[in-house]
Amino acid sequence: MTDVGVNCKSLPARQYGIASAVLRWVLVRDPKGQLQPRAYFSTVLDDTPESILLTFIQRWTIEVTFEECRAHLGIETQRQWSDAAIARTTPVLPGLYSLVALFARAHLPEGQVPVQRSAWYCKSQATLSDIFSSSKFATH
């Protein structure tokens, strides 16, 4: 990744709507014109433009983690469950996934997880169910 110079302007502004709020916004523009201008917001008026951008960068890894959990672990898709059951299980799923990945890494040091194949479902990469299946063999 190469460093990109940016032009940055920060001003306080008032947001009107359902709940009125005063915001500090930062407009970031690529001086070369290769990237689209982007705006970032904060409700903390004393934040500097650098701290607003740093907070966004730090949040990005968390957002990616949640998106991956939604896509691969089914978070927020527990149908017909009660709200209390979802609240109990959702925080456990990323931790369980991590434990299974660490277990597979310890018991399959070459990193090769056997991919289960079936006549009706062809897949090119190992899934969590493949790791579970290989872990059954490792524990017996």
Mean pLDDT of 128-137: 69
Q: Which of 10-24, 31-45, 58-72 has the highest mean pLDDT?
A: 31-45
The rounded distance, in Å, linking the Cα atoms of 6 and 122 is 46
- The pTM is what? 0.49
Query: Is position 117 within any domain?
Result: no
Between 114 and 137, the more confident residue is 114
> What whole-number distance in Å separates Cα of residue 132 and Cα of residue 138?
10
Better pLDDT: 117 or 37: 37
Mean pLDDT of 100-118: 76
Dist. CA 129–CA 113, nearest whole Å: 10
In a domain, 122, yes or no: no
pLDDT for the residue numbered 77: 67
pLDDT for the residue 1: 38
| Confidence band, pLDDT 50/70/90 cuts, at residue 3 | low
Decide if 48 is inside a domain.
Answer: yes
Domain with 57, as residue range(s), is 7-73
What was the pLDDT predicted at 118? 74
Number of domains in the chain: 1
pLDDT at 19 over 70: no
Q: Is there a domain that residue 40 lies in?
A: yes
Q: Which residue did the predictor score with more confidence, 47 or 132?
A: 47
**16 lies in some domain:** yes
Residue-wise DSSP of the chain: ------EEEEEEEEE-SSS-EEEEEEEEE-TTS-S--EEEEES-TT--HHHHHHHHHHHHHHHHHHHHHHHHH-TT--TT--HHHHHHHTTHHHHHHHHHHHHHHHH-TT--PPPP-BTTB--SS--HHHHHHHHHHHH-
Q: Kindly give the pairing relationship between strand 21-29 and strand 38-42.
A: antiparallel
